[in-house]
Amino acid sequence: MVRLSSYRDFDWVLLGFVLLLSLISVLEIKSATLHTKFHGFDHKQIGFLAVGLVLMFLISLIDYHRLIDISHWAYGISILSLVAVLAVGTKVLGGKRWINLGHGFHFQPSEWVKLILIVSVARFFWGLVGKELTWTDIAKAFALVCIPMALVLKQPDLGTALTYLPILICGLFLGGIRFRQVALILLGIALIGGIAVKSGKHLKPYQQARIDAFINPDSDPRGSGYQIRQSLIAVGAGGIWGKGANKGTQTQGDFLPIPYTDFIFAAFCEEHGFVGAVGVLLLYFLILMRLIQNAQTASDLPGSFIIMGVVAVIVFQVAVNVGMVVGLMPVTGIPLPLLSYGGSSVLFTFMALGIVMNIRMRRFVN
Amino acid sequence: MEATHQPEAQNMGPIGRAEKLPTAKLHAVQYFVALILAVLITGLWRLQVLNAENFRSLAEANRIRKVPILAPRGKIFDREGRLLVDNYPSVTCYLLREQVKDLNADLPLISQGLHIPLDQIQATLRRYQIAPNYQPIPLKQDITPDEQAFIAAHRDELPELETLDEQRRLYPPDGFAAHLIGYVGEVSEQMLANDDRYSLYSPGDVVGRSGVEATYDALLRGTDGSRDVIVNSHGKELGRLGQEQAIPGKDLRLTIDLDIQMAAEKVLEGKIGAIVAMDPHTGEILAMASRPTFDPNQFAVRLTKNYWNEILNNPDHPLLNKTIQAQLAPGSTFKIVMSVAGLQENIAQTMHVACNGGATFYGHFFSCDRHHGMVDINNAIPFSCDTFYYTLANRLGIDTIAKYATSLGLGQKTGIDLPDEVSGNMPSTLWKLKTQHEKWYAGETISVGIGQGAVTATPIQLARALSGIASGGVLRRPHVVFSDEVPPQMLEAIHESYPGSGEATIPLTAENWQIITDAMANVTSSPIGTAYIAHLDGVDFAGKTGTADVVGGREKNSTNKSTIPNAWFVGMTPRRNPDIVVAVLWEHGYWGNNSAKLAAQVINAFVTKQRKRDNNIHVADTPKPHTNPATSSSSKAPTPTAE
């Protein structure tokens, strides 16, 4: 059976939105690193984007069913690579998250595992089509996601580990979990959480400090509250129209922490104001709506599942990152997809888009 | 329950052949995404639209730092405009606690680079613990170029170090006029807490701590300016906004004459004592020196522990300005006060006393150092005959003596414009009742007659008293800064802050004035005078010696230095309406005539200078007959020349 695929069916509109966001990303990284030793990261980001685009087109060529077929192998390799990180990983900023590939290249497996998890979860729920979800199925789904999650938590990288959760939640929701099951699970989590809080060994000190700082950013303006406080100042000082490109004093004066990665949205808010920020959120909205539309038109269930997994991850990361920047969420260290600087993040996003294109291009087949 | 909440999805997408996701669920996801974005936009609205102003000012406060521009202190000149105190540019290193998260980790590097012991930095930090965090802490003053280079090289590692250009005080070397000029230092915490004058100052501010620097601090210090600089989060300067210029402090002209001061300093070299020279017409201090002295330059920069200990442990108190702070028995110099009292009471004129090496009063023998024979007021002063003054004291009684002494300013501060003047003491019946709750015994009056007993006086008091007597009864408030240099309100405030006998006029008849001054001239010019050895040829030099026993020392040949008598001399030129009065205290100087020799050199310096200036060298002989300036309209005295 020959599957028809053509670049006429490639989602050029979606790609247009994505490239627009990527352009904004490059310009803001340039501005945020102008006077720092990270000057030139905008060029590196362009490189990552180029590689990402190539990967996207390559992945769109391979039938996603092939990917599903090999997903259990990929899953196994993922687990191994995460264990490898714990064993031989490079320590950066207090966490072992990277494998040094030599020649200045580092690889962060936890990003790539995200993609494999999306496919694996799709494959898992595809296998359950037509059945009601039993507690055993739910337990298996949890195990599928929570094993890599635990390994990433161990690095420790709470942020990335958390991004695996929406894949699970989205899968369960679309897989047909019933309300009673949801209620019981939430009750169980609340119980375990309560015990954990009681026992007092639930969070690392830096995590506790971040939560304290989130609740009261002014409590320790030079310590844990510093990041949130400076972020709020940057966003607020932007006002309606912003201070203009390269003119944000919080960004240019190095007051805003890591303004090219986790806090890039704060830098953008300072320089381009409420209008610019709403514009960027609108772009995310259009991208997400376009993705959901593609999920709807996918030719089969696993295709829809995969696209919705991608949607879940992007929605979660946008919500947590922007929420953090505007003070609605604690600091978690989750990058903003398509805006934050970083090779692993860019590659994940474009590979995920590659699969989405792949699914879209094959929507009329069967 | 379960039936009603049966997920719609199962109705929409039939189980069994579901190859499509239920549309309703996808719609639900779309609404969910829209909701999340709406919440985020609400968050942005709250920050960027509702609170933008607030955050904008916080951002400005972040990046703009006010850097003080310190005003240079006013320079200090002598009466002829010769520079006494200058400033020199210097760099101070400050610590900004705000700029660093873990200061303690950086301390060893700072200690090493700036050559400050670690425990000293920690002590400094403790001292500033209560001060607000944004306030810079002065770490080290007057840092070397090497240390400046260290700070510049470690900008990134040690963003908390900041340098500030300052103008620092440059005082004359070797403690020249140190007591008079004083020194500056950081305002102490006690001063901030207890003294209203310092209510507007903050820790680290440099203020005058003694001498002229303290009294005239408000004039000398000027007003600090500030500069707004744009900094990044490491405190690195990125640009400048505006600045408010510093207003330099006012230059101050002292009444001191550098030439006289140099003479006074020179003759005191190696001795313990004090010299003050004053213009009796105005009260202007022409010279003021005290020994031992200290180096105020050491105080201007951070004082070293060694130097401070050296000063503290010196038994002769180098920080004490002995001209206004040494209150000692005036000895025979007090006899001029006795003479005024005796003459004005019409007792001394007719008194003739036979001196046989002493006399007995109230069953006690009071000795005189010689057998002077028959003595009257005219030779009692040049002889310095104790027997005469014992007798005079006995006839006057303590309260009459106290009345005249007090009117001449003894037992009270003079009101000189320098801090921490002491008042000395003048005993009386009332004084004894008040302080010891005992009645005065007539026998106690006898030793008061020769300036012993409970009488104590400072050199400045004696200088002012003699100035008044020699000027016919007009006493002036001594001062070291010209009144027209000081705004009237401040002058008033200074007079209030430094109360004292100030300006006064006492009754002194022309005849009595003449008798006393002529007798004083004989002290140096007549071979019978106690200070003939100090006479100056061609100069109308008059004065009175004093050899004052110190507590515990009666035997005058003792080898124990601390029991050797203090040598006093008060002198002037010319004898009437003098242009200069000099008071000399030489502690343990043995005989009053030793001090007379010191005074003679100071007087000589004055006279030589005047003659050079007039280019008109006259030889003084007997002064003309005089009218009492206290009763005449002219208060301007003649120059020390006679026709």
How many beta-carbon pairs under 8 angstroms link A with B? 160
pLDDT tens sequence across B106-130: 888 888 888 888 888 888 888 887 7
Q: What is the pLDDT of residue B6?
A: 40
Contacts with A305 from chain B: Cβ below 8 Å: 21
- The answer to whether the predicted template modeling score (pTM) of the entire model surpasses 0.90 is no
- Residue A105's pLDDT band, with cuts at 50, 70 and 90, is low
Q: What is the pLDDT of residue A202?
A: 58
Q: Does the distance separating the beta carbons of B40 and A326 come in below 8 Å?
A: yes
Contacts with B29 from chain A: Cβ below 8 Å: 170, 292, 308, 311
Nearest of B226, B85, B233 to residue B155 by alpha carbon:
B233
Shortest CA gap A168–chain B (Å): 15
Q: Are strands B252-253 and B76-77 parallel, antiparallel or unpaired?
A: parallel
Q: Does the distance separating the beta carbons of A235 and B21 come in below 8 Å?
A: no
Q: How many residues does chain B have?
A: 643
Shortest CA gap A331–chain B (Å): 15
**Mutation to test the B interface, candidates A263, A292, A336, most B Cβ within 10 Å:** A292
Query: How many Å apart are CA A163 and CA B587, to the nearest integer?
Result: 89
Of B19, B40, B56, the CB nearest to A301: B19
Of B23, B33, B47, the CB nearest to A236: B47
User: Considering the domain boundaries, does residue B199 fall inside one?
Assistant: no
B565 contact partners, CB below 8 Å, separation of at least 6: B331, B547, B548, B549, B550, B553, B556, B588, B589, B590, B591
Distances in Å between the alpha carbon of A250 and those of A232, A247, B167? 10, 9, 35
Contacts with A322 from chain B: Cβ below 8 Å: 40, 43
User: Considering the domain boundaries, does residue B159 fall inside one?
Assistant: yes
Structure tokens at B580: 């200069």
CATH code assigned at B485: 3.40.710.10
Q: Does the distance separating the beta carbons of B54 and A318 come in below 8 Å?
A: no
Q: What is the pLDDT of residue B81?
A: 92
**Mutation to test the A interface, candidates B29, B45, B232, most A Cβ within 10 Å:** B29
Chain centroid, CA B433 distance in Å: 34
Of A236, A238, A254, the CB nearest to B232: A254
Q: Does the distance separating the beta carbons of B98 and A296 come in below 8 Å?
A: no
Nearest of A347, A333, A337 to residue A107 by alpha carbon:
A347
Q: What is the pLDDT of residue B16?
A: 39
Shortest CA gap B313–chain A (Å): 46
Of A35, A230, A281, the CB nearest to B40: A281
Q: What is the pLDDT of residue B625?
A: 46
| Pair A257, A263: CB distance under 8 Å | yes
- Closest residue of chain B to A272, computed from CA coordinates: B48
Query: How many Å apart are CA B182 and CA B85, to the nearest integer?
Result: 10
Shortest CA gap A344–chain B (Å): 25
pLDDT tens sequence across B62-91: 888 777 788 889 999 999 999 999 998 888
B483 and B335, same structural domain? yes
CB atoms within 10 A of CB B259: 18
B479 and B331, same structural domain? yes
User: Considering the domain boundaries, does residue B267 fall inside one?
Assistant: yes
- Closest residue of chain B to A222, computed from CA coordinates: B101
**What residue type is B292 in one-letter code?**
P
Bond from prior residue into B292 cis (ω within 30 degrees of 0): yes
3-state SS class at A305: helix
Q: Does the distance separating the beta carbons of A285 and B37 come in below 8 Å?
A: yes
Contacts with A222 from chain B: Cβ below 8 Å: 98, 101
Q: Domains in chain B: how many in total?
A: 2
- Residue A293's pLDDT band, with cuts at 50, 70 and 90, is very high
Query: How many Å apart are CA B596 and CA B602, to the nearest integer?
Result: 10
Q: Does the distance separating the beta carbons of A223 and B40 come in below 8 Å?
A: no
User: Considering the domain boundaries, does residue A19 fall inside one?
Assistant: yes
Query: How many Å apart are CA A340 and CA A29, to the nearest integer?
Result: 8
What is the span of the domain harbouring residue B154?
A: 65-173+227-253
Shortest CA gap B22–chain A (Å): 8
Query: How many Å apart are CA B263 and CA B602, to the nearest integer?
Result: 5
**What residue type is B224 in one-letter code?**
D
3-state SS class at A290: helix
Contacts with B134 from chain A: Cβ below 8 Å: none
B326 and B232, same structural domain? no
Contacts with A253 from chain B: Cβ below 8 Å: 62-63, 230-233, 238
Q: Does the distance separating the beta carbons of B52 and A239 come in below 8 Å?
A: yes
B556 and B465, same structural domain? yes
Q: How many CA atoms lie within 13 A of B24 on its CB side?
A: 9
> How high does pLDDT run on average in chain A?
86
| Pair A75, A120: CB distance under 8 Å | yes
Q: Does the distance separating the beta carbons of B98 and A240 come in below 8 Å?
A: no
Contacts with B98 from chain A: Cβ below 8 Å: 222
What is the span of the domain harbouring residue A327?
A: 12-67+157-177+197-361
User: Considering the domain boundaries, does residue A186 fall inside one?
Assistant: no
B240 and B361, same structural domain? no
What is the DSSP secondary-structure string of B68-130? EEPPPPPPEE-TTS-EEEEEEEEEEEEE-GGG-S-HHHHHHHHHHHHT--HHHHHHHHHHTTT
Of B19, B47, B233, the CB nearest to A253: B233
User: Considering the domain boundaries, does residue A269 fall inside one?
Assistant: yes
Contacts with B62 from chain A: Cβ below 8 Å: 230, 233, 249-250, 253, 255
- Closest residue of chain B to A179, computed from CA coordinates: B5
- Mean pLDDT, consecutive 10-residue stretches, chain B (643 aa), reads 40 47 90 96 94 90 81 92 91 80 82 87 82 77 87 82 84 92 84 76 81 92 85 72 86 94 93 94 95 86 76 87 93 94 93 92 90 91 93 94 94 93 93 92 92 93 95 94 90 89 91 94 90 89 90 50 86 93 92 90 93 66 46 41 36
User: Considering the domain boundaries, does residue A244 fall inside one?
Assistant: yes
Contacts with B10 from chain A: Cβ below 8 Å: 176
* A349-361 per-residue burial string, b: 16 or more CB within 10 A, e: under 16: bbbbbbbbbbbbb
Q: Does the distance separating the beta carbons of B18 and A285 come in below 8 Å?
A: no
Chain centroid, CA A265 distance in Å: 14
3-state SS class at A36: coil
Distances in Å between the alpha carbon of A64 and those of A116, A360, B239, B374? 12, 10, 56, 140
User: Considering the domain boundaries, does residue A63 fall inside one?
Assistant: yes
**Mutation to test the B interface, candidates A283, A288, A294, A326, most B Cβ within 10 Å:** A326
User: Considering the domain boundaries, does residue B589 fall inside one?
Assistant: yes
Contacts with B37 from chain A: Cβ below 8 Å: 281, 284-285, 318
| Pair B509, B625: CB distance under 8 Å | no
User: Considering the domain boundaries, does residue B625 fall inside one?
Assistant: no
- Closest residue of chain B to A289, computed from CA coordinates: B30
B409 and B383, same structural domain? yes
| Pair B452, B565: CB distance under 8 Å | no
Shortest CA gap A91–chain B (Å): 22
**Mutation to test the B interface, candidates A133, A222, A256, most B Cβ within 10 Å:** A222
Q: Does the distance separating the beta carbons of B48 and A269 come in below 8 Å?
A: yes
Q: Domains in chain A: how many in total?
A: 1
Contacts with B20 from chain A: Cβ below 8 Å: 296, 301, 304
Of A180, A253, A300, the CB nearest to B232: A253
Shortest CA gap A59–chain B (Å): 23
What is residue B225's DSSP assignment? E
Shortest CA gap B232–chain A (Å): 4
User: Considering the domain boundaries, does residue B220 fall inside one?
Assistant: no
Shortest CA gap A27–chain B (Å): 21
CATH code assigned at B136: 3.90.1310.10
